[in-house]
Structure 1
Amino acid sequence: MADTDQLAQRLEALENKLWTRSYLMKIAEFDGATIAPENGAAARGEAMAALAGEHHELLCNEDAVDLVSGLEDAVASGAVADPKIAAEVRTLARDQREARAFPTEEVEAWSRLTCEADAVWHKAKVANDWASFEPYVDRIVEALKRQAAYLDNTRDPYDVWLDQYERGMDAAAFDRFFAQVRETVVPLVHAIGERGEQPDAAFLTAHVDEARQRALSFDLMKLVGLDLADTCLAFTEHPFSEGFAVGDARVATHIYEDNLMSNVYSIIHEAGHAAYELGVDPAYARTCLEGGTSMGIHESQSRFFENTVGRSRAFMGPLLSLLRRHAPEVYGDVDENALYRAVNIATPSLVRTEADELTYPLHIMIRYEIERKLFAGEAAAKDVPGLWRDLTRSYLGLEVPNDTLGALQDTHWSGGSFGYFPTYALGSAYDAQLIPAMERDGVDLAGACASGDLAAVRAWLKEKIWRWGRGKDAPELILGACGAPFDATFYCDYLSDKFSALYGL
């Protein structure tokens, strides 16, 4: 057997072992955020730390390093011509280089810390108890600074993490992006506040019990295009989704009985994430190419379904049909135009996950500015609630009544995801650039939304984005799908056109 064939077999064996540890860690994490008992956090943390340590050792030991090096040489020489293997080698080599920067004990300690922090955050949010969570923020930031130095001690630590979540991005690039978005969004928000007339939409806060919302959730998942044999629905404090494997993506939502639309758009948003994970080429199963390539691309898919589809005028027919089926006493007399105006109300609010499409990026700017201060040493965790109040007043013109609705509202920091938030806004901007590209390729987006049959939309996204998994980074995907590099002008024009029309500005 040729040496290259042996290398390919060893690669497959290594990736299977790595995938198994990752899969088990995802199960533990999903369980912890949904159904696990409160007192199970410590045991779960130890199990996850052990799995993280095993994963790290498998990826970084001498045999794995020699294997990846040999495969890189084989690809460079042309001895390995299979593009799938070449992509695996390229991606795994980067994963390995970055993982080898960390001692195994650092990886295990990080897993314990974030597991414990997540459990504390869940209790702290409900109790409005920033003080209990505060020490974990400081510990996590310090750990991330230390880890950033392992990766690249020549760069600003925050830039290192921004690049980890979105390759090629740093604070300077995000500063330019946010400045362009701010120039569009802030005047629009002010104009709507001064001259825009808000619709009467009392039905948005009508009571719809949990049982009916659960039933509606499954119908929404099917409407977006998920096969329920590939996914499941769980319930949690903070909605999220996770791709486990080919044929296995999980969605978790939170139900408020007096805010049906919170659940509706959480489901549509998370279904977009799940669709991306489930759309990866099955040939990538149990390899390093399985899963989404970046947080920004992932958010582009969830925001595409939530906003471009879910809040479009064309989609109101299919959506209203489901709402009438599950809550006829509330939505029986609501027409499509009224629903469209209601789900696109633009007005500042306190909670990011409930924010309208226009003010949403302002929420991201608040978190971005706080993260930068924490990493620059200009603030510590004790300062975060005050900074949150100040920035909310500045960007949204609102007073924050408590930390549950302020600095404790998001789960991300408890998991160590600093540098993640900016990708939420970037994903919305990617989404806006995909729309004209899709339509140029002959997809009738409005027609698909109006019919409730999104098959053509999903097929285009699968071909251009989903199937590539981690095999292509965001810049290459956007260039391939849109025929041009990323340009935030598409996003700014989209917001300006949509909300100027909605409010007659």
Structure 2
Amino acid sequence: MADDVKKLSRKLRRLERKLWTREYLLKIAEFDGATIAPQNGAEARGEAMAALAGAHHELLTSEKSRDLVRSLEKAARKGRISGQLADEVRVLARDQREASAVPTEEEAAWTRLVCEADTVWHRAKTANDWASFEPYVDRIVAALKQRAERLDASRDPYDVMLDQYERGLTAAQFDAFCEQVRATVVPLVHGIVQRGYQPDASFLSDRVPDAVQRQISFDLIDLVGIDRADTALAFTEHPFSEGFAPGDARIATHIYEDNLISNVYSIIHEAGHAIYELGVDPDYAYTCLAGGTSMGIHESQSRFFENIVGRSRPFMGPLLKILRRRVPDTYDDVSEDELYRAVNIAQPSLIRTEADELTYPLHIMIRYEIERLLFAGEARACDIPRLWAELTRKYLGIEVPDDTRGCLQDTHWSGGSFGYFPTYALGSAYDAQLVEAMVAEGVDLGEACASGDLSPVRAWLGAKIWRWGRSKDAPELIGGACGAPFDASYYCSYLARKFGALYAL
């Protein structure tokens, strides 16, 4: 590498480390705000986060930073740089172009707005008070539509938002995906309802004290394969996780003493996110390539551990071993088959995060359709409770008793994450195709789940997905791992096989 390119690359690494430092501090403040920070500190936290976001934005988009990236892009075009450095230049240039479309003061104001909105949402959900949160939804949607226009005025603003979470995804593509999935899911749901049979799951509602559930949480983190020295467990209204740095990916859960299984699968799900972050190539640390590449891929990893592993028949042995040790009075008398059937009950329900695999994509469609209407200007925040009730009735055939269990149940909108929800369904669909490729390459998934030794699964996912960080977008990752482009038919076949067998359809 010529001396001038070496000098430029050193400058790039210094810039990336400075950007990472600001991102790290923002994540710390956000995690703190959702877990242990007092409500009355929200305004001060919002000011601090706005200042940090503004400083990050200003550094990323400064003329000096842009000149540096342009010089490296020129070197890349001439073939003077390659490998990791070329990937860093490509990804940072994209980040820079998108950030440059938004003024620094607007970025700071946005951070202040979503910090305030998140605090209001937490109170509103607890109090069943949509009216207090409603104005923030309209403000956030307006801000995002303005941002979308700045990013690409030639495209539908909702397509621009989808692209922020899953590169290349459009509403037309997701519409086609939904149509294909509905054609499988709806007849299966109807068939289960008509059959009129559900297995006994009464033991799942036995009371399990908070302290015991915390012990189980750490047992499950161990089982997924995360070193406890690499993570911390916190508690919040809506479970989530965040990757901060090498050796630091944190998990936040919510414990209900009368619903142990909620925490069990929240932990396994969030541990899937965390282990992805921890599995990124260490050479990417402190660069723009660190972290997951997209929310679709991120959700594929969390839902892989939650569903493909965590709700599989072979995994019931290791799971039941933990439950019997911690809650013997209930689980000593529960068989592996009884537990398997109980945790895979398929029936319409209100809460997305508690939904079974089969009806889960219908929950996503409810949120997706509302977001489309908001961005098209065909609905406002005041319409959301009504729309939620109508779509829940349409897709799930049940009534919404209150907003806490309806349109206030998810944290995403308070953080401005419009366009995120479709990635949950895509992640589940990616998983079905990843399983086929994993098994075809000789990984005995059933044996790994039955033994409780998931190292072969982690090794395969680590090599095919985790290590690449942001250096590859979702289509390239899926194509590389599976040897073919994404195909939702794998997902539809998986659902039909699993639930057809469970309910003898």
Q: Structure 2 length as normaliser, TM-score?
A: 0.99
Per-residue Cα deviation, 1:101-128 (whole angstroms, up to 9, x for no partner): 0000110000000000000000000000
Equivalent residue number for residue 231 of structure 1 = 231
- The alignment status of 1:500 with 2:500, answered yes or no, reads yes
Opposite residue 62 of structure 1, the aligned amino acid is E
Opposite residue 415 of structure 1, the aligned amino acid is G
Return the alpha-carbon distance in structure 1 between the equivalents of residues 11 and 475 of structure 2. Answer: 31
Return the alpha-carbon distance in structure 1 between the equivalents of residues 64 and 7 of structure 2. Answer: 14
Shift of 1:450: 0.2
Matches within 5 A, 1:74-473: 74-81=75-82, 83-473=83-473
Return the alpha-carbon distance in structure 2 between the equivalents of residues 445 and 500 of structure 1. Answer: 21
Opposite residue 19 of structure 2, the aligned amino acid is L
Per-residue Cα deviation, 1:357-401 (whole angstroms, up to 9, x for no partner): 100000000000000000011100000000000000110011000
Return the alpha-carbon distance in structure 2 between the equivalents of residues 345 and 157 of structure 1. Answer: 38
Equivalent residue number for residue 52 of structure 1 = 53
For the residue of structure 1 that corresponds to 2:208, the secondary structure is coil
Return the alpha-carbon distance in structure 1 between the equivalents of residues 186 and 43 of structure 2. Answer: 45
Return the alpha-carbon distance in structure 1 between the equivalents of residues 389 and 421 of structure 2. Answer: 18
Per-residue Cα deviation, 1:176-233 (whole angstroms, up to 9, x for no partner): 0000001100110011011151001210100000000000000000000010000010
> Is the contact made by 1:196 and 1:504 (CA closer than 8 Å) also made in structure 2?
no
Return the alpha-carbon distance in structure 2 between the equivalents of residues 404 and 490 of structure 1. Answer: 35
Return the alpha-carbon distance in structure 1 between the equivalents of residues 43 and 58 of structure 2. Answer: 23
Q: Structure 1 length as normaliser, TM-score?
A: 0.99
CA RMSD in angstroms comes to 0.6
Return the alpha-carbon distance in structure 2 between the equivalents of residues 337 and 196 of structure 1. Answer: 20
Shift of 1:452: 0.1
For the residue of structure 2 that corresponds to 1:190, the secondary structure is helix
Opposite residue 44 of structure 1, the aligned amino acid is R
For the residue of structure 1 that corresponds to 2:252, the secondary structure is strand
For the residue of structure 2 that corresponds to 1:378, the secondary structure is coil
For the residue of structure 2 that corresponds to 1:402, the secondary structure is coil
Return the alpha-carbon distance in structure 2 between the equivalents of residues 392 and 311 of structure 1. Answer: 25
Return the alpha-carbon distance in structure 2 between the equivalents of residues 201 and 176 of structure 1. Answer: 35
Equivalent residue number for residue 24 of structure 2 = 23
For the residue of structure 1 that corresponds to 2:233, the secondary structure is strand
> Is the contact made by 1:145 and 1:157 (CA closer than 8 Å) also made in structure 2?
yes
Per-residue Cα deviation, 1:393-450 (whole angstroms, up to 9, x for no partner): 1100110000000000000000000000000000000011000100111100000000
Shift of 1:75: 1.3
Opposite residue 228 of structure 1, the aligned amino acid is R
For the residue of structure 1 that corresponds to 2:232, the secondary structure is strand
Corresponding residue pairs, total: 504
Shift of 1:77: 1.0
- State, as a whole percentage, how many aligned pairs show the same letter: 74
Return the alpha-carbon distance in structure 2 between the equivalents of residues 188 and 136 of structure 1. Answer: 38
Return the alpha-carbon distance in structure 1 between the equivalents of residues 328 and 298 of structure 2. Answer: 34
Opposite residue 339 of structure 1, the aligned amino acid is L
For the residue of structure 2 that corresponds to 1:153, the secondary structure is coil
> Is the contact made by 1:196 and 1:503 (CA closer than 8 Å) also made in structure 2?
no
Per-residue Cα deviation, 1:286-312 (whole angstroms, up to 9, x for no partner): 000000000000000000000000000
For the residue of structure 1 that corresponds to 2:299, the secondary structure is helix
Shift of 1:246: 1.2
Return the alpha-carbon distance in structure 2 between the equivalents of residues 260 and 462 of structure 1. Answer: 30
Return the alpha-carbon distance in structure 1 between the equivalents of residues 425 and 81 of structure 2. Answer: 39
Opposite residue 173 of structure 1, the aligned amino acid is Q
Return the alpha-carbon distance in structure 1 between the equivalents of residues 255 and 140 of structure 2. Answer: 30
Return the alpha-carbon distance in structure 1 between the equivalents of residues 3 and 171 of structure 2. Answer: 47
Opposite residue 440 of structure 2, the aligned amino acid is R
Return the alpha-carbon distance in structure 2 between the equivalents of residues 437 and 163 of structure 1. Answer: 26
Return the alpha-carbon distance in structure 2 between the equivalents of residues 211 and 21 of structure 1. Answer: 35
Return the alpha-carbon distance in structure 2 between the equivalents of residues 43 and 485 of structure 1. Answer: 47
Equivalent residue number for residue 14 of structure 1 = 15
Shift of 1:74: 1.0
Return the alpha-carbon distance in structure 2 between the equivalents of residues 99 and 196 of structure 1. Answer: 53
- The alignment status of 1:70 with 2:71, answered yes or no, reads yes
Equivalent residue number for residue 42 of structure 2 = 41
For the residue of structure 2 that corresponds to 1:229, the secondary structure is helix
Per-residue Cα deviation, 1:85-104 (whole angstroms, up to 9, x for no partner): 00000000000000000000
List structure 1 segments (4+ residues) > 6 angstroms apart after TM superposition.
none
Return the alpha-carbon distance in structure 2 between the equivalents of residues 455 and 152 of structure 1. Answer: 43
Opposite residue 142 of structure 1, the aligned amino acid is A
Return the alpha-carbon distance in structure 1 between the equivalents of residues 435 and 503 of structure 2. Answer: 22
Per-residue Cα deviation, 1:267-291 (whole angstroms, up to 9, x for no partner): 0000000000000000000000000
Equivalent residue number for residue 491 of structure 1 = 491
Return the alpha-carbon distance in structure 1 between the equivalents of residues 407 and 299 of structure 2. Answer: 22
Return the alpha-carbon distance in structure 2 between the equivalents of residues 111 and 504 of structure 1. Answer: 51
For the residue of structure 2 that corresponds to 1:234, the secondary structure is strand
For the residue of structure 1 that corresponds to 2:228, the secondary structure is coil
> Is the contact made by 1:210 and 1:257 (CA closer than 8 Å) also made in structure 2?
yes
Return the alpha-carbon distance in structure 2 between the equivalents of residues 320 and 148 of structure 1. Answer: 48
Gaps of 5+ in 1: none
Per-residue Cα deviation, 1:233-259 (whole angstroms, up to 9, x for no partner): 000000000000111100000000000
Shift of 1:76: 1.4
Return the alpha-carbon distance in structure 2 between the equivalents of residues 419 and 431 of structure 1. Answer: 20
Return the alpha-carbon distance in structure 2 between the equivalents of residues 228 and 96 of structure 1. Answer: 35
Equivalent residue number for residue 5 of structure 1 = 6
